[in-house]
Structure 1
Amino acid sequence: MNDLPPKPWYRETWLWFVLAPLILVMLVSLTMVSIAVRHADDTVSDTYYKDSRMYHYTADQDERAQALQLAALVQFTPQDNTVSLDLTGIVDYPQQLLLSLSHPVEEDLDHHIPLSQVSSGRYRGTYEGELHYRWYLRLMPQLDPKQHLDSDWRLKGEINFELGHAAPLNPAVQ
């Protein structure tokens, strides 16, 4: 009847009809897993218990800032990538301050800007790149961002660069 030799298994139409959707699902799944791993969300701390235990240390920084009546106004100038800051309060003004800009989602985008004193209570610094959208701000006299818990005081604020380039910094309200 049919004297033709059988086709090799990889040339059978029904085989590919069954395997094609399975192969497609596997490729899409691997792609999604690689995207999820590469772009993981940084917002949740892995050390939340330790962070909660350290809360009273950072609350002390806010209380000291309130006792010193500290407040600041930070102004960003995107044309020349400079930031100026006016600090008021009952404090011996340090020669340098550190302004940390924390991105709400991506830790890799955080900036740490050292500010140098140009006059009593007036500071200036420069930053790299463009700043867009919303950022959390933290000002402290400690110049090493990894040792922010050792700082005598801190001021906090928030800025949205789509709405303006200036923001007040105050002690966190308890």
Structure 2
Amino acid sequence: MRYVREDNGPWYRQPWPWLLMIPPVTAVFVGMILLRAATYEPDGLVVADYYREGRAINEVLERERFAAQLGLGGELVREGERFVLRMEGTPLPPAPLTLRLLHPTRANKDAEIRLTHDAHNGAWVGNLATLPTARWHVHLEPEDRSWRLRGRLEPDASRVTVSAGG
């Protein structure tokens, strides 16, 4: 005697249609997630006016050469919310300095701090409430932008050396 099973039930009670639908449904959900990730934040690495930025590189290099001629350098120390800068080389007037902390990929996370001269310890001091953990590019320059020093603040580091070569 031979047993033949007849399935006369509706299609949605069968396992095969559901198993065949898993890959297309998964592809739709993954596509929606990728679309959301691609449009969440603008790409910070793309420069709108690349020609003007390329021409400005010579000005930046000249400012760094001038800082090297002056023998400028220093050490930036992060103490919680406080940044303390001790300069070396040619003595500078006690004018304020601008410290820029640039995120490598997200321009909207960049921070700018105004460092003022503290006559008691001969250093420049500034405060920044929050700084997310990241590898930061450090740019230091006076208000007249005549020279520039660079450095890199590593995650979880409290000190960075700023110099003309970066």
Q: Same fold (TM over 0.5)?
A: yes
| 1:95 counterpart residue number | 95
In structure 2, the partner of 1:140 is 141
* Cα displacement string for residues 81-110 of structure 1 (whole angstroms, at most 9, x for unaligned residues): 101001233254242111111111222221
C-alpha change, 1:158 and 1:128, in structure 2 (3 Å) is same
133, 146, 155: which one aligns with 1:152: 146
Say if 2:158 is the partner of 1:165.
yes
Which is higher, the Rg of structure 1 or of structure 2? 2
Q: Does 2:69 match 1:67?
A: yes
Equivalence for 2:109? 109
Structure 1 residue 48 displacement after superposition: 3.0
Structure 1 residues 130, 54: closer, same or farther in 2, change over 3 A?
closer
Q: TM-score, normalised by structure 1?
A: 0.74
Distance 2:165 2:46 in 1: 21
Distance 1:161 1:28 in 2: 32
4+ long deviations beyond 6 Å: none
Structure 1 counterpart of 2:79, from 60, 77, 80: 77
Task: Flag structure 1 segments of 5+ consecutive residues without an equivalent.
Answer: 1-10, 143-149
Q: Is the 8 A contact 1:68 1:91 kept in 2?
A: no
Among the aligned pairs, what percent are the same residue?
22
Alpha-carbon distance in structure 2 between the residues aligned to 1:166 and 1:28: 42
Shift of 1:42: 1.8
CA distance in 2, matches of 1:19, 1:131: 43
Q: Count residues in correspondence.
A: 154
Q: Distance in 1 between matches of 2:23 and 2:89?
A: 68
Calculate the aligned-residue CA RMSD, in Å: 2.7
SS of 2:63 mapped into structure 1:
helix
Question: Once the 2 structures are TM-superposed, how far is the Cα of residue 31 of structure 1 from its aligned partner?
Answer: 2.2
CA 1:108–1:84: 2 relative to 1, 3 Å: same
Q: TM-score, normalised by structure 2?
A: 0.77
SS of the counterpart of 1:54?
helix
Q: 1:24 to 1:92 in 2, by over 3 A?
A: closer
Q: CA 1:151–1:169 in 2, change beyond 3 Å: closer, same or farther?
A: same
| Structure 2 gaps, min length 5 | 1-9
